[in-house]
Chain A
């Protein structure tokens, strides 16, 4: 086991400062070529997601097809980074996406609540890995975190990371349930110390999901961790990002907090389902000058 983290380790967060700073990223004017590049970058960073109780093999197949054929009418579109599904759909998604660069991410560890025993969680991770998952999205035990049992949360993350081996692990903090920026910062530091390859805001099941201020707090944690240890950790805001303009604001925030090294789908992802269509509509608008209608794009 790695050395554990102490709560005092994380610096306090200036809430007003963070909100104002996050707000300032929304004032950048991105037009023309820069906008087009930005939109394509957003597209390449999307984890196309379906995590519903009513998911069916058909729905997952449809999602995989969408990942491969975003909008064939437009040439030279990048593909999305990954599809994100429940563990029992991993094998199917893997089969549909065989031979492509689109990865398959699987949620695990009793998603979305995280209420289960460590043994069951590890078994679930094992199942997802054996089914062929390229990435694992785990949730932290918020109940334990809130009751102050930080060591449990830390040990759990490092146990899951150990089970993942070289497979990249995204750790979902579920910031909407953490309550304060201080706790978000603490949970981020804890997850990174425990071995997370990515930290992720939300499951998408709780509101508020990803917001710009909360993402900024996590980006700052990544920056500080990188300065201290030299290890680069990825970031994935998820849930509530459905408009391309907002996605571009996020890219500005990443660029101005972490720098260009993170502007790549290896280090930054958007967890979203309807964002892709909005970005596509914007790209076609940029190309044709006409505002688009959802009628002419694939169904989410």
Chain B
């Protein structure tokens, strides 16, 4: 009896025409297609992953506008509130655990690798959720100065960051940098892994439902070589986060990005591709996308012991 049922359901499944998904980008809290109308179909082991938007420089422009307008509001939220929202991201990712694993497998990972990558990604969200309201206490300081000043330094978000996602770990690589970038109040425009963009798009669906304000995270899909000249010279992008390439061509691309980034003194940060080790989650990644503001506050000596404050 059980066998018959199984055959029946298999038959039904064969008759069914699956609904194929249109993969769109994530800009300003909405899911638009590329303005250019162009698509590309990345392949894994000869199998097409589907049609993905081939972002144009105008898509880049639009996403930077969205990120810029979202930035002040995001930075103005309390660290505690950003914590809550990042934790909510972890909750949303947990609910999509199965989907994320399936997609990583489709993109060439083994079952074990896929599960480990999704588990670590969720863990990262919880980890950085914890840091949002604590990194300031760790990194800011009261500085001893030899004058009548109360001198202190604290971190402020850099602004709009452009992030080129890892090609090796399309989900873990992305979240491992997006989370520390937004933890301090930056907003980010990501270029998803060129060959494995599927996970990044599903991640944005989790982000869209996790109280992250529109424009804080934006994801484009497309060719790095087409976009690199435009984002590296864009004056409204303040910092660039890259994964280190292990190819001659990749190194050439990074070099030209660094050269063009000079115009408005973007900070270009490069990281190792392997995001698996536990020490790859640390608060220094938050500090990498912050600027230090030092304040000299004039004071008088008010106590006999000479304490200035």
Contact = CB atoms under 8 A, between A and B. Distances in A.
> Do A and B come from the same complex?
yes
Interface of A: 289-296
Nearest to B160: A293
Contact of B230 (A291, A293, A295, A296): A291
B77 interface: no
A293 B264 contact: yes
Contacts of A290: 233-235, 263
A294 B264 CA distance: 12
Contacts of A289: 233
Contacts of A291: 61, 64, 230, 233-236
A44 to B, nearest CB: 25
Contacts of B233: 289-291
A289 B263 CA distance: 13
A289 to B, nearest CB: 8
Contacts of B235: 290-293, 295-296
Contacts of B61: 291
A295 B64 CA distance: 14
Interface in B211-242: 230, 233-236
Interface residues of B, number: 10
The 3 tightest CB contacts between A and B, nearest first, are A293-B236, A293-B235, A291-B234
Nearest to A290: B233
A29 to B, nearest CB: 13
A94 to B, nearest CB: 36
A289 B68 CA distance: 20
A295 B234 CA distance: 12
**Most B CB within 10 A of own CB, among A289, A290, A292, A294:** A290
**Most A CB within 10 A of own CB, among B64, B235, B263, B264:** B235
B196 to A, nearest CB: 28
Contacts of B234: 290-291
A205 to B, nearest CB: 23
**Most B CB within 10 A of own CB, among A289, A291, A295, A296:** A291
Nearest to A292: B235
Interface string B262-281: 01100000000000000000
B254 to A, nearest CB: 20
Given A291-B234, A296-B235, 19 more contacts: A289-B233, A290-B233, A290-B234, A290-B263, A291-B61, A291-B64, A291-B230, A291-B233, A291-B235, A291-B236, A292-B235, A292-B236, A293-B235, A293-B236, A293-B264, A294-B68, A294-B236, A295-B235, A295-B236
A290 B236 CA distance: 10
22 contacts: A289-B233, A290-B233, A290-B234, A290-B235, A290-B263, A291-B61, A291-B64, A291-B230, A291-B233, A291-B234, A291-B235, A291-B236, A292-B235, A292-B236, A293-B235, A293-B236, A293-B264, A294-B68, A294-B236, A295-B235, A295-B236, A296-B235
